[in-house]
Structure 1
């Protein structure tokens, strides 16, 4: 048996014949060559298996299933089978930059306190580069309201995964990655390299784009609330206060006047109380104020109240023109209501 690889690459495959060869080629062409590529054929009905078998490279290990198991189940199998010091993710329809592994490996080797490293990415067939939050503080703040990583771009420190017996949650599919980031954010530092090291393909077969069931939506909501609870644990919130903060970060529509007043009151109480967070206090306060201001700008249907409520805080980071724009929109809506 060959020596233990430095990196174990996990690639689930299901009916991916259109893009699979290009994805595998991009891994086998990596400048960093010491890896194993674990490919899980998840009961594909197309020519995916034949494409995988057409490659003659000892670093490829095909684990074939006749029936569909589900990609989260196979990712967990991959976490158990991986022998490398690091574990990298890759999807069967994406393209890795030739120096992706090299740069992620070097970062994790030189920064032992970091346990996860992702990258920026480009969307295939679009002139669009997606820049993700860079360092640990920014990422942990962003996790309060968005997924801060491109899943197929990440590389884990395998020792953390093994010691903590970390697995993906099959119940949380298709946002199992966000749920995982939330859990491991407590274990060490997180990073996104500010280089485009992955070309990401968006199409109608993307799991993350499919309709979520009511149960899945509720599990996602519980995960978001759980992260808020842990992030603000020193505030000793009542559950109703956790729900109010969740509304600030995740509500999909405009706020009523009473909702803005309630959220503003909670933001004020957080700012007035001296406590400790996973990141700097100033960063937390700035985020809360900017998020509250944004909610006011999307709630100008309540008229001038949106402007008045927004300006109860010192608007550091909010420009004069942003505030003026809010005032104009609020006045316009106020006049529309009067008329």
Structure 2
């Protein structure tokens, strides 16, 4: 009898056939080969099924699952089908470097419950920047809530038993776009064995379609997530810390808008952050930068 794969890779997808082909190619090229991949297909209307079939690899299976617009539901379907000791998440538009699984499994086998590595963020123009996550002391249950997310989905491998213990992703509609952040918080409530790799082992591909609307939606989801934990977790009664964290959410939205040159919208978010937490020097500096961006003459 064949041993079950040590790593089950969960790949949700919808009409991303060319990118899915690229993602799966980086899975097949892993130096660590004891894996199976579960492509959770949201009834794509492109040639997704043909892309999967073309690999002709029995370790890659494709299941059709209607997620009703909630990607966390697709990931939960993959978790339910996982037979490996560990689950690795890979969005169909992201990619891994060849030693990703090898290095993550080595750390997990030494006793960690979750490992997350650095990655390159690639924008639509091909420009990249290195983004690191963690460190471990920043990814405690309390710090994840009060200081923000320190983990990235496609850069993370988690012990399967722990994922199933917390029942996977919360598929509440109000948490769409922060369901991964919510999962890390709940995992951290069960385990403090989170490890981080400073070496970049993958690429996260950013798509800027309707970016302002997406930032607004993410902010709303982040505020809903904070409301969830502030209202239910009696361990966190520090009202000052709560105000500071809510201000951080608006500040983060402002930074995202500023990067895309939406200076007026960024100014609104920075200003809201200051109303909530008026003793933040960086928010005052951000307001000034946004004003400079607004009144800077446009180059001809």
Q: Give the 3 Å change call, closer, same or farther, for CA 115–226 of structure 1 in structure 2.
A: farther
CA RMSD, Structure 1 to Structure 2 (Å):
3.2
Counterpart-to-counterpart distance in 2, 1:209 and 1:101: 35
Q: Give the 3 Å change call, closer, same or farther, for CA 47–299 of structure 1 in structure 2.
A: closer
Other-structure match for 1:197:
201
Counterpart-to-counterpart distance in 1, 2:284 and 2:205: 35
Counterpart-to-counterpart distance in 2, 1:256 and 1:19: 37
* The structure with more radius of gyration: 1
Whether 2:282 is the aligned partner of 1:294: answer: yes
Displacement, 1:109? Answer: 1.1
Other-structure match for 2:235:
233
Counterpart-to-counterpart distance in 2, 1:38 and 1:101: 16
CA contact (8 A) 2:11 2:92 kept: yes
Whether 2:133 is the aligned partner of 1:132: answer: yes
- TM-score, normalised to structure 2, is 0.75
The gaps in structure 2 that reach 5 residues or longer are 251-268, 289-300
Q: Give the 3 Å change call, closer, same or farther, for CA 257–168 of structure 1 in structure 2.
A: closer
Other-structure match for 2:271:
254
Displacement, 1:231? Answer: 8.7
Show CA shifts across 1:292-315 (max 9, x none).
443465578xxxxxxxxxxxxxxx
Other-structure match for 2:34:
34
SS across alignment from 2:64: strand
Q: Give the 3 Å change call, closer, same or farther, for CA 180–29 of structure 1 in structure 2.
A: same
Other-structure match for 2:159:
157
SS across alignment from 1:170: coil
Displacement, 1:258? Answer: 8.0
Counterpart-to-counterpart distance in 2, 1:160 and 1:55: 31
CA contact (8 A) 2:8 2:35 kept: yes
Other-structure match for 1:88:
88
Q: Give the 3 Å change call, closer, same or farther, for CA 208–88 of structure 1 in structure 2.
A: farther
Q: Give the 3 Å change call, closer, same or farther, for CA 50–243 of structure 1 in structure 2.
A: same
Q: Give the 3 Å change call, closer, same or farther, for CA 41–219 of structure 1 in structure 2.
A: closer
Counterpart-to-counterpart distance in 2, 1:296 and 1:60: 51
CA contact (8 A) 2:6 2:84 kept: yes
Other-structure match for 2:243:
244
Other-structure match for 1:280:
none
The gaps in structure 1 that reach 5 residues or longer are 265-291, 301-339
CA contact (8 A) 2:178 2:225 kept: no
Displacement, 1:138? Answer: 2.1
Displacement, 1:35? Answer: 0.7
Displacement, 1:223? Answer: 1.9
Counterpart-to-counterpart distance in 2, 1:221 and 1:105: 34
Other-structure match for 1:169:
170
- TM-score, normalised to structure 1, is 0.67
Other-structure match for 1:13:
13
Show CA shifts across 1:64-92 (max 9, x none).
34x56442211111111101100000111
SS across alignment from 2:17: coil
CA contact (8 A) 1:229 1:242 kept: no
Paired residues, number: 262
CA contact (8 A) 1:86 1:157 kept: yes
Displacement, 1:173? Answer: 1.2
